[in-house]
């Protein structure tokens, strides 16, 4: 069988043999086969990936479904647990309400019983207080008896004097130092006043009498009939005059005691009543140099005497104080001398500083004069510079000024 020859292929000026065409077609076919194989491989790989992705998504869906089932089971468990909890809580609430009702009932019963008990206790306490009041009333009756006994004691001159003496001694002992007073001393005329107080500057002591005619006073105070009260008041006035005269005659000894004595009244009310209704007795006592004093006035007088005694002790120590003041003045004089010397040193130093400042001013002025001096430059036509550079050098003990001019 004869085959026809395959003509050559001409592309412009290029002639290709016919077998080249077969080779090209074969190459194209092979290329298409390779492309098809690559596409099949890619398609297979894509299918595998899609299968893996679908498998993964299915697994995820299964996992989510399992989670949803688990969550549903948990929710069912929780709902059942909540139902149980609510049931228990309701039962507990019912039990608590019942317990509280029982407790309130018990408390109400206990409160009623306590109130009943408290009422009985209050009644018993009231009975005890009534018993205490009865005892206090009994004590008041005993106190009234004691007051009557005190009145009986005060009606006696000796016991009354002891009562006034005790109050006076307490006031004086509280206000004066030991040694500044004396109780029941004996004077040169044999009389014994209740108290004497040492006065400053070696002056005679002050006499204080603590006896007071209280019988007439009590009789005058207890009398209700005005006419009878006038008679009793006259008796009290005479008793006071007699007692004041006795004090003036017995206790006012010239050169041994003060020219004035105190009559101590142991009650502020009696003292005020005497000065209000018996002014004549007070004036007569003053004329006889006897001063009627109450506890407060005696305390004030004691304070004044204490101040006078303190002033006396200070005057006794005046020479010591004067010696200390003299030594203090000597120290002050030495301090003044040293201060003046120090002031002289400061003045000398100040003078030296002023001299140094004067020299500095002179040097400053001389430097200013030197700075203001003008020198001709080596170039006759040159003008002095606006900003010259000047420096001072010391060579072989001479001062040389070098001026550098700038164009």
Q: What are phi and psi of 223, to 5 degrees?
A: -80, 130
Q: What are phi and psi of 65, to 5 degrees?
A: -65, -40
- Of 394, 391, 68, 205, whose CA–CA distance to 402 is shortest? 391
> What is each CA distance from 380 to 364, 371, 374, 376, in whole angstroms?
32, 21, 14, 8
Residue 202 C-beta-side C-alpha neighbours within 13 Å: 1
- Given a contact cutoff of 8 angstroms between Cβ atoms, the answer to whether 266 and 210 are in contact is yes
Res 378: pLDDT: 44
Q: H helices then E strands: how many in the chain?
A: 8, 9
Res 162: pLDDT: 57
Res 188: pLDDT: 87
Res 315: pLDDT: 73
- Given a contact cutoff of 8 angstroms between Cβ atoms, the answer to whether 214 and 164 are in contact is no
Alpha-carbon 243 to chain mean position: 61
Collapse the DSSP code of 185 into the 3-class scheme (helix H, G, I; strand E, B; otherwise coil) and give the result: coil
pTM: predicted TM-score of the whole model, two decimal places: 0.41
What kind and span of H or E run contains 42? helix 18-155
Res 235: pLDDT: 85
Per-10-residue mean pLDDT of the chain, 407 residues long, equals: 53 59 76 85 86 87 87 86 85 85 81 82 82 82 65 48 73 84 87 85 85 75 79 84 88 87 85 85 88 88 82 72 80 84 84 85 84 55 43 39 38
What residues contact residue 298 under an 8 Å CB cut-off, 6+ apart?
Answer: 168, 171, 172, 208, 262, 264
What kind and span of H or E run contains 291? strand 290-293
Separation CA 383–CA 376 (nearest Å): 9
Both tokens of 123, joined, read 């009644």
Q: Is 196 left (phi over 0), alpha (psi -120 to 50) or beta?
A: beta
Separation CA 215–CA 156 (nearest Å): 8
Separation CA 233–CA 239 (nearest Å): 10
- Of 263, 268, 271, 278, whose CA–CA distance to 232 is shortest? 278
Residue 22 CB coordination number (10 Å): 11
Residue 181 CB coordination number (10 Å): 21
Collapse the DSSP code of 245 into the 3-class scheme (helix H, G, I; strand E, B; otherwise coil) and give the result: helix
Res 358: pLDDT: 87
Res 151: pLDDT: 55
Q: What are phi and psi of 198, to 5 degrees?
A: -70, 130
- Given a contact cutoff of 8 angstroms between Cβ atoms, the answer to whether 138 and 148 are in contact is no
């Amino acid at each position: 069988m004869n085959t026809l020859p395959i003509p050559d292929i001409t592309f412009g000026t290029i002639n290709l043999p016919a077998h080249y065409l077969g080779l090209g077609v074969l190459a194209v076919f092979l290329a298409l086969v390779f492309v098809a194989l690559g596409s099949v491989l890619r398609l297979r790989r894509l299918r595998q990936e899609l299968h893996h992705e679908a498998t993964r998504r299915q697994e995820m869906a299964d996992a989510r479904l399992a989670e949803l089932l688990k969550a549903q089971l948990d929710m069912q468990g929780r709902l059942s647990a909540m139902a149980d909890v609510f049931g228990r809580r309701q039962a507990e609430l019912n039990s608590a309400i019942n317990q509280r009702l029982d407790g309130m009932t018990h408390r109400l019963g206990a409160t009623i019983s306590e109130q009943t008990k408290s009422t009985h206790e209050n009644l018993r306490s009231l009975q005890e207080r009534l018993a205490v009041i009865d005892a206090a009333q009994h004590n008041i009756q005993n106190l009234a008896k004691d007051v009557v006994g005190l009145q009986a004691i005060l009606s006696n001159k000796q016991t009354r004097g002891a009562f006034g003496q005790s109050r006076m001694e307490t006031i004086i002992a509280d206000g004066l130092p030991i040694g500044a007073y004396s109780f029941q001393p004996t004077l040169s005329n044999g009389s014994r006043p209740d108290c004497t107080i040492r006065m400053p500057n070696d002056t005679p002591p002050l006499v204080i009498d603590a006896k007071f005619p209280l019988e007439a006073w009590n009789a005058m105070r207890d009398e209700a009939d005005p006419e009878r009260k006038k008679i009793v008041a006259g008796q009290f006035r005479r008793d006071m005059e007699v007692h004041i005269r006795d004090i003036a005659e017995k206790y006012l000894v010239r050169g041994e005691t003060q020219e004035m004595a105190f009559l101590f009244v142991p009650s502020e009310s009696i003292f005020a009543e005497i000065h209000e209704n018996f002014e004549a007795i007070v004036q007569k006592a003053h004329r006889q140099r006897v001063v009627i004093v109450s506890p407060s006035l005696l305390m004030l007088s004691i304070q004044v005497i204490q101040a006078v005694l303190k002033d006396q002790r200070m005057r006794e120590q005046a020479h010591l104080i004067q010696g200390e003041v003299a030594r203090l003045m000597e120290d002050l004089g030495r301090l003044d001398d040293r201060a003046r010397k120090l002031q002289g040193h400061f003045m000398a130093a100040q003078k030296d500083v002023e001299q140094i400042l004067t020299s500095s001013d002179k040097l400053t002025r001389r430097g200013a004069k030197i700075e203001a001096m003008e020198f001709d430059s080596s170039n006759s036509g040159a003008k002095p510079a606006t900003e010259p550079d000047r420096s001072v050098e010391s060579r072989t003990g001479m001062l040389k000024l070098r001026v550098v001019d700038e164009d």
